[in-house]
Amino acid sequence: MKNDSRIVWDMELINRYDLSGPRYTSYPTAVQFDPDLSSAELMNQGKASADKNSPLSLYVHIPFCAHVCYYCACNKVITRNRDRAQPYLDTVYREMEQLSQWYSDDRIVDQLHWGGGTPTFISDEQMFDLMNALRRNFNLRDDDKGDYSIEIDPREASPATMEVLRKAGFNRISLGVQDLDPKVQESVNRVQPLEQTQGVLTQARQLGFNSINMDLIYGLPHQSIESFDKTLDVVIGMSPDRLSVFNYAHLPDRFRSQKHINPAELPSPEVKLAILQNTINKLLDAGYVYIGMDHFAKPDDSLALAQAAGQLHRNFQGYTTHADCDLVAMGVSAISQIGRVYYQNEHDLAAYTQAVNQQKHAIRRGVCLSDDDIIRGAVINQLICHFELDPSLIEKRFGIVFADYFAAEQSELSQFEADGLIQRNHGQIQVTPAGRLLIRRICMAFDAYIPKQQPTRGYSRII
């Protein structure tokens, strides 16, 4: 399909359909992960259903942060004690050896990502050691053609560290920026001068990193349309290859650090929507492609090219070009996606460490996918990645009659069509420019689990 980034901002539709719902980094979503399903069943299903002829994607979770950012909802450990890193890495190495025995099979690693927390919390030497351990246990590329990325806090990335990352094999970075306004930064305890961010970005380009992503957040304290517009002007001037613009969800009862944020200083829902609208329009005018939800990319970026070619995919790391990869994840709370199984490690650091030491893995909960899960997941992935669906391709792939299999969904699709969220032509479903912002709501129509629970449970607002 052709890339079409047009967005129509229809407030009447937004007000009607802006509920809470999944982000569909998987289907079934993590809410359906069952803690009572035995780790043996999950690991056996994973080993049995892994495609040993396909490449791998690896994820390593490093939870430590030296400073707390009040908005953060990640699984993190706040500490200034750098000595805590090595015992954790030693545990990851033990887990890594087990995962290698299960899944490596000399499969080439096309994608690698370190997230957190702050991955650059660990020392330069520890980063080399971790990458070398990955190379010993898995078949990492050495031709710089894989997508090897790391999340970076510019406050934790010295020039020497940037050189280490490039030498270790990383070729993509994601910079946490959030907002450039000093008052906003102070209110969320993340003071990060522009010069710091610009310095990391400039050096990354000099070192030959292939792609640079920047993370922004809208809905933070003291933000206004005007203040965030200024941040966007500067960011567009820095010309990152990709941008992620996330919606801040204020949930202090779930995330303790958010209790430091004064809700009276947050922008109103109306202002938040206006900030988002201005952001989308501004980035489109600057030449970025709207990939979906909160992601944008330059037209020549691999995400935009994959979307244009109908090859974009979505997994726990967000939008990705590696649909053919099993995702092997290690570290506390990390989520793997292997064949017909998803599973997540222990969320608590002490429990994770104990589990790996006792049984060489830390699987806590997960789900084994049924045939119905796989069919519905394919439909949802196609819609959320490409804003269109050709039912005949689903029929051919799975041997079903689409209208019969999804008979119960037809009335809701008809309502979407009547409201202008989708168009149906000769059986094909096309999401309209007005429906793109509400793609999560459209996908929910195909989610077999939503009717069995409160749709708002455990999910963020769609917009």
User: Which residues of the chain have a pLDDT value below 70?
Assistant: 1-5, 451-459
Task: Say if 340 falls within a structural domain.
Answer: no
226 and 245 assigned to the same domain: yes
| pLDDT of 3 | 47
* Full residue range of the structural domain in which residue 229 is found: 36-330
266 and 314 assigned to the same domain: yes
| Residues 56, 103 contacting (CB under 8 angstroms) | yes
413 and 312 assigned to the same domain: no
199 and 231 assigned to the same domain: yes
Domains contained in the chain, number = 2
Task: Say if 324 falls within a structural domain.
Answer: yes
279 and 142 assigned to the same domain: yes
| Residues 247, 437 contacting (CB under 8 angstroms) | no
64 and 206 assigned to the same domain: yes
Instruction: Report the predicted TM-score, pTM, of the whole model to 2 decimal places.
Output: 0.94
User: What tokens were used for 23?
Assistant: 């982000």
Question: 3-state DSSP helix/strand/coil percent for the chain, to nearest 5?
Answer: 45, 20, 35
Task: Sort 64 into a burial class: Cβ within 10 Å, 0-12 / 13-18 / 19+.
Answer: buried
Percentage of the chain lying above the pLDDT 70 cut? 97
For 326, the enclosing helix (H) or strand (E) is: strand 326-330
| pLDDT of 10 | 87
Task: Say if 354 falls within a structural domain.
Answer: no
Q: Domain boundary residue among 330, 356, 387?
A: 330
| Residues 83, 295 contacting (CB under 8 angstroms) | no
43 and 7 assigned to the same domain: no
Nearest in space to 334 (alpha carbons), one of 138, 75, 148: 75
Give me the CATH number covering residue 398: 1.10.10.920
Task: Say if 355 falls within a structural domain.
Answer: no
| pLDDT of 422 | 96
Give me the CATH number covering residue 325: 3.80.30.20
Q: Domain boundary residue among 278, 313, 330?
A: 330
For 424, the enclosing helix (H) or strand (E) is: strand 422-425
Task: Say if 8 falls within a structural domain.
Answer: yes
263 and 375 assigned to the same domain: no
Q: Domain boundary residue among 281, 304, 330?
A: 330
Task: Say if 5 falls within a structural domain.
Answer: yes
Distance, in Å, from the CA atom of 344 to the CA atom of 336, rounded to the nearest integer, reads 6
214 and 244 assigned to the same domain: yes
Nearest in space to 368 (alpha carbons), one of 38, 142, 119: 38
| pLDDT of 454 | 47
| Residues 399, 392 contacting (CB under 8 angstroms) | no
Task: Say if 261 falls within a structural domain.
Answer: yes
41 and 2 assigned to the same domain: no
319 and 424 assigned to the same domain: no
Q: Residue 421: how many CB atoms within 10 A of its CB?
A: 24
240 and 313 assigned to the same domain: yes
Distance, in Å, from the CA atom of 370 to the CA atom of 197, rounded to the nearest integer, reads 45
Task: Say if 339 falls within a structural domain.
Answer: no
